A and B are shown apart, each in its own frame.
Chain A
Amino acid sequence: MTTHDTRPGSTGGADTPGPLYGGPDDDYTPEQLAALPPEELDRLGARYDGVEILHVEPGPEPGSPMEKRAVRQVGLLFALAGLSAFAFCVVYAGAGWFLPDWQWELGSSTFSTLYTPLLGLFMALAFTFFGIGLVLYTKKLLPHETAVQDKHDGSHFDRVTTGATLIGGLHNSGLKRRKLLTRSLVFMGGGLGLMLVAPLGGLIKNPNRGNPLGTTEWAEGVRLVRDDGTPIRPGDQVPGSLETVFPAVPGGNHLSDAATMLIRLRPAQQAEAVPRAGQEDFGYGDYVAYSKICTHAGCPVSLYEQETSRILCPCHQSQFDVTQGAKPIFGPATRSLPQLPITVDDEGFFVARSDYIEAVGPTYWNRERI
């Protein structure tokens, strides 16, 4: 054995190029191809790709009025597109420079309110003119050809040979005989798969620790305050009115489950009021307080029509009757709005007597169990 390998492909050997990649260069010599006009070459290549050009409707005669008109149209559209694009840039950059300022302020010029519409308009015109021009170009100036391309089904030869290669590889791996390998592979795959998803466990948290869904910030002696933090006395509201109140705790007006409606019933409403069983004393005089969080999907039920005593949730139109313990009387909600037991403290302001006695907000699987 020599130290100098002289086989082809390594140093010193004679290397000969194989056949060219792709097209049938053997059938068509460069001389033959050079003799063909471009249209013929185009069709030849197309035929090689299984495409037959059946019919070509040539574009308009060069120099004909048709062509001139089409060129004028397309050229005009392209020019308008360019013009609009430049106009966009002028408005975009010119605002606050040689045009009025673009930023909207109370009482500022009309230009600032027109700024975004102008930008959109010019951008739209630029794109649309360009697009229409291009479509007209292909429709009016390009030849229209009808081409047919063959569609091939899968080849039996390919299927059989590829199958043989795959089966050969599988056979050579010997996985069928080497059971230990197969089993350890399955074991490893399971382990690896589990390992890869395991970090998602960081997302898992226990929702049952401390009953977060069943409790709110309301507690005995917590004052009912308005959004601005002022407490409420029984005489502050007129009969038939509704006010949204929050617990007097820091950030109480941004809690997602504590918002409560303090409603003063009209005498007629109170006369016919039927509180829920066991909750007859939750109100205070003609005042009742219900959770504002809809028991259906959690939206704030906001629309109170005091003539009919109905509270409507604007999200899915559940309706609750305040004279019947906020029982749902129409729509998809299934449970009454929870009632907050209220009373008045030593200084004459409304306070809660306790937290809600049931979970507020939407129903969930184990709600009744907590």
Chain B
Amino acid sequence: MARTATAPGAPKTLAGRAALEVDDRLIVAGPLRRTLNKVFPDHWSFLLGEIALYSFVILLLTGTYLTFFFQASMTEVTYDGSYAPLRGVDMSIAYASTLDLSFDVRGGLLIRQIHHWAALLFVASIIVHMLRIFFTGAFRRPRETNWLIGVALLVLALVEGMTGYTMPDDLLSGTGLRIISAIILSIPVIGTWAHWAVFGGDFVGDLIIGRFYIVHVLLIPAIILGLIAVHLLILVKQKHTQFPGPGRTEHNVVGSRLFPTFAGKATGLLLVVFGVCAALGGLVQINPVWLWGPYNPAQVSAASQPDWYVMFLDGSTRLFPAWDIYLPGNYNIPALFWPTLVLPGILFTLLALYPFIERKLTGDTASHHLLQRPRDVPVRTSLGVMALAFYVVLLLSGGNDVIADKFDISLNAMTWIGRIGLIILPPIAYVITYRICLGLQQHDREVLEHGIETGVIRRLPHGEFIEVHQPLGPVDEHGHGALAYGGAPVPKKMNQVGGARRAIRGFFSPIEEPAAVQLEQAGEERGLASTDPQRELTSSGRPAEGGRPSEGGRPSEGGRPSEGGRPSEGGRPQEPRD
């Protein structure tokens, strides 16, 4: 516009003029500023979801590359590629093209292995991200929608992974496909019809790889992409949750702005995730299909296991007893149906409904933007650990033959260990976790009430030895801290409250002035009483002169244990990066 173009402050640089031209047409300055100014809280556990996002980016890039070479066809050919040991062997085009892209495409093996590793990382980071959400209560109102989307993404990621490792049509993936076929057949009433619909006939037919291919490269990725977009839009709209701390409330977000700090760190993380996947893809061999050979229904190798994220279902299948249910009319429900379809159905339904179950049981319908520490919600934490114990038993049982082999344990014993462990370990995990949570809670309150153990032992005039405690804030006439627990970590070491100066930086020679560091720390007002030149560490909490230690450290008259004692939840936001 003429008015702004000639106004004072009109851009004179080339970039500035170009920006003005763009904004004249698109009017993006406002939204862009709002985006750049968006504040993100800073905590390591908030990066887990980002890792999932970045591994999905890797999957899209490498997956697209693989489609240039992979042919999803089950037509039989005789292999005539570079890999000599398989020359002349009959195999499907899918398997042959997988060999070709591993051995005859320059750098193809690297991309294929990065794709596989990124898939493992994708599911792993989703699960760990979900655990973080669960244990900190980030799924509570108003974020139930994003929890549901997250569960949907997890299920889709599992199906995506499963269809993906079926693609090469090697001996291992074909065995997996045989089991998938049996699972579909085991569905009561419609099993055979469902199998005929999915496979286009009896196992194996010549359609299934092509069908799984389009599901793997188009259908599910498109849904995942859409759900991720919604997931992130809701996140931006609702703003990120944060842990309680100084200055943090239900109505603000404390952290750093998107630009440049958060953007810099997020890009750094993206690159590190790329780097880790590239290192794994290049240096750590995964799924060497040329060693397994082409699929043959009459062959199998020992220790045939799916990728790790399906192992828990393999484990449940191994553990489930041989219970076919025979119904009148000579119908039956195969034993396979329960551990492979009913169990995951129940597990994922419970997972999806958990926010609503908890809301119903606790009656807590309020909006929450502050996270909870797992110890403060012992029932939820214990339930989570109980579910984890259940899951881990299933996961390990998925490889119980390998464990039996490597540790020289009877295979049947491993099965029984799994069966019994599946039932008794979760309750034990619940009880232990519950007690640990209570213990941690009590310790927090103990430190708030009696102060930090300083490690300084004093001998009192009458001979008694006491340990001097440093209170975290003001104390009452009994020497008990007056600070209430605020849901934030309680400092438990003197160094966390400024008991020690930080080291001077520099490896061979100091690169900063010791005096400057001291000044800086004084200016930081960090920790306890750092501005109080007269603080006496050995006198706080316990009366320095006299008093009756047996009464829990009553401060002397005129003692000043509270002045300068800075509450950990003071008015100033805590630096999140230390």
Contacts and interface: CB of A to CB of B under 8 A. Distances in A.
A273 interface: no
Interface string A114-132: 0011111101111111111
A109 interface: no
A22 B282 contact: no
Contact of A147 (B104, B201, B254, B276): B254
Contact of B189 (A65, A332, A365, A367): A365
A66 B511 contact: yes
Interface stretch (A6-14, A290-298, A340-348): A290-298
A255 B297 contact: yes
B572 interface: yes
A4 interface: no
Contacts of B308: none
A169 B504 CA distance: 69
B199 to A, nearest CB: 9
Which residue of B7, B297, B301, B326 has the most chain A CB atoms within 10 A of its CB atom?
Answer: B297
B278 A120 contact: yes
Contacts of B254: 54, 146-148
A181 B17 CA distance: 56
Nearest to A145: B256
Interface string B168-205: 00000001001101110111111111011110111110
Contact of B317 (A119, A316, A369): A316
Interface in A173-187: none
A212 interface: yes
B103 A103 contact: yes
Contact of B84 (A45, A105, A246): A105
Which residue of B4, B27, B84, B322 has the most chain A CB atoms within 10 A of its CB atom?
Answer: B322
A33 interface: yes
B167 interface: no
Contact of A65 (B198, B200, B511): B511
Size class of the contact patch on chain B: 35 or more
B363 interface: no
B82 A104 contact: yes
Contact of A148 (B247, B268, B275): B247
A96 B202 CA distance: 47
B165 to A, nearest CB: 15
B275 A131 contact: yes
A292 B270 CA distance: 49
B251 A151 contact: yes
Main secondary structure of the interface of B (DSSP, over half): mixed
Contacts of A364: 185-186, 191-192, 334
B110 A123 contact: yes
Given A149-B39, A205-B200, A297-B317, A131 B270 contact: yes
B546 interface: no
B123 interface: no
Given A363-B324, A363-B334, A207 B265 contact: no
B82 A105 contact: yes
Contacts of A318: 322
B299 interface: yes
A331 B415 CA distance: 8
A331 B192 CA distance: 24
Given A23-B30, A30-B8, A317-B411, A46 B257 contact: yes
Contact of A300 (B34, B195, B298, B334): B298
Contact of B202 (A95, A147, A213, A369): A213
Contacts of A246: 298
A195 interface: no
Contacts of B321: 332
A363 B322 CA distance: 12
Nearest to A302: B300
A80 interface: no
A155 interface: no
A138 B302 contact: no
B330 interface: yes
B33 interface: yes
Contacts of B233: none
B415 A330 contact: yes
Contacts of B223: none
B332 A365 contact: yes
B573 A55 contact: yes
B508 to A, nearest CB: 11
A256 B506 CA distance: 69
A200 to B, nearest CB: 9
Contacts of B573: 54-55, 146, 148
B196 A204 contact: yes
A142 B264 contact: yes
B196 A205 contact: yes
A334 B401 contact: no
B538 to A, nearest CB: 32
Given A23-B30, A134-B271, A142-B260, A45 B37 contact: yes
B458 interface: no
B9 A33 contact: yes
A198 interface: no
Nearest to B305: A315
B322 A254 contact: no
Interface of A: 21-23, 30-31, 33-34, 45-46, 48-49, 51, 54-55, 64-66, 69, 92, 95, 102-106, 116-121, 123-135, 137-139, 142, 144-153, 203-208, 212-213, 227, 244, 246, 253-257, 259, 292-293, 296-300, 302-303, 312, 314-319, 328, 330-335, 361-369
Given A151-B369, A332-B339, A362-B182, 20 more contacts: A30-B10, A46-B257, A65-B506, A104-B83, A105-B82, A131-B272, A134-B264, A135-B264, A135-B268, A147-B39, A204-B196, A213-B192, A255-B297, A299-B300, A328-B322, A332-B321, A333-B322, A363-B186, A363-B336, A366-B331
9 contacts: A121-B282, A203-B197, A292-B298, A300-B300, A317-B411, A362-B181, A363-B186, A363-B324, A365-B333
Task: Name the 6 nearest CB pairs between A and B, nearest first.
Answer: A120-B282, A131-B271, A128-B275, A127-B275, A34-B9, A30-B7
